[in-house]
């Protein structure tokens, strides 16, 4: 759409075709990362990684969004910044169904790091990212028409994700060998054992009273 094309041109003053140009512009835009917060068993359910900052709630997100959370928290944690940028652009453009403008461009950068541009989510996955204000903008409903528009959409989306959402470092998303995972799993097991023991005492008393 011309709207996104104009914004991109205002921001960078040019059109782009190559990954080097796209990545340079992504860096210039200084797109912030989503803040990750520690898991607290007293505050958060185990299975909901996306936390809405304004509403202060954990969103019951779909499986693709949980997969995205795993990528950001675990798999991509120590990967090169260029690969992470390519991943974020991939996620946003697939989310908005305009990946076809960038698939050929992105393949090369993923191959550079021995990664595949496909396979991060199920092939039919949609809505890979939580809802932000951008998703209510009527100008996003139509498909983007060029690489600059697709990149601008990606920049805008990840800015809003940073502003509106946080990621909870749930144990099931962590590296199982990390101290963070080991500590969280031990605490969960301790809580579960306590709960089971309380239930055992309750049932024991119930049947003893019947006698």
For residues 65 and 128, is the Cβ–Cβ distance under 8 A? yes
Q: Which two tokens stand for residue 62?
A: 């779909």
pLDDT tier at 39 (50, 70, 90 boundaries)?
confident
| Res. 135: pLDDT tops 90 | no
Q: What's the rounded Cα separation, in Å, for the pair 192 and 184?
A: 12
Q: Rounded to the nearest 5°, which phi and psi values hold at 192? A: -65, -40
Q: pLDDT at residue 7 above 90?
A: no
In whole angstroms, what is the distance from residue 8 CA to residue 149 CA?
A: 7
| pTM summary value | 0.80
Q: What is the mean pLDDT of residues 158-185?
A: 86
Residue 148 near residue 13, CB atoms below 8 Å = no
Element (H, E) at 23: helix 19-29
- Confidence (pLDDT) at 32: 94
Share of the chain above pLDDT 70, in %: 81
Mean pLDDT of 56-67: 88
pLDDT for 1: 46
> Which letter does DSSP use for residue 14 in this model?
S
pLDDT at residue 51, rounded to an integer: 93
Percent of the chain scoring above 90 in pLDDT: 36
pLDDT at 113 exceeding the cut of 60: yes
Torsion-angle region of 50 (φ positive above 0: left; ψ -120 to 50: alpha; else: beta)? beta
């Amino acid at each position: 759409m011309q709207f996104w094309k104009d914004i991109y041109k205002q921001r960078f003053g040019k059109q782009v075709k190559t990954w080097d140009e796209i990545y340079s512009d992504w860096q210039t835009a200084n797109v912030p990362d989503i803040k990750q917060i520690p898991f607290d068993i007293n505050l958060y359910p185990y299975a909901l990684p996306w936390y809405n900052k304004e509403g202060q709630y954990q969103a019951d997100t779909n499986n693709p969004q949980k997969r995205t959370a795993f990528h950001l928290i675990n798999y991509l944690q120590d990967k090169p910044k260029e690969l992470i940028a390519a991943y974020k652009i991939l996620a946003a453009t697939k989310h908005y169904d305009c990946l076809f403008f960038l698939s050929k461009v992105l393949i090369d950068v993923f191959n550079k790091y021995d990664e595949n541009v496909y396979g991060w989510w199920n092939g039919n996955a949609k809505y890979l990212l939580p809802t932000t204000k951008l998703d209510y903008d009527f100008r996003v409903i139509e498909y983007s028409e060029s690489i600059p528009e697709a990149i601008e959409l990606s920049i805008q989306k990840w800015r809003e994700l940073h502003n509106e959402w946080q990621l909870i470092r749930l144990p099931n998303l962590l590296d199982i060998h990390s101290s963070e995972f080991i500590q969280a799993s031990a605490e969960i097991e301790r809580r579960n054992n306590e709960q089971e023991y309380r239930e055992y005492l309750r049932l024991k008393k119930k049947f003893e009273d019947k006698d």
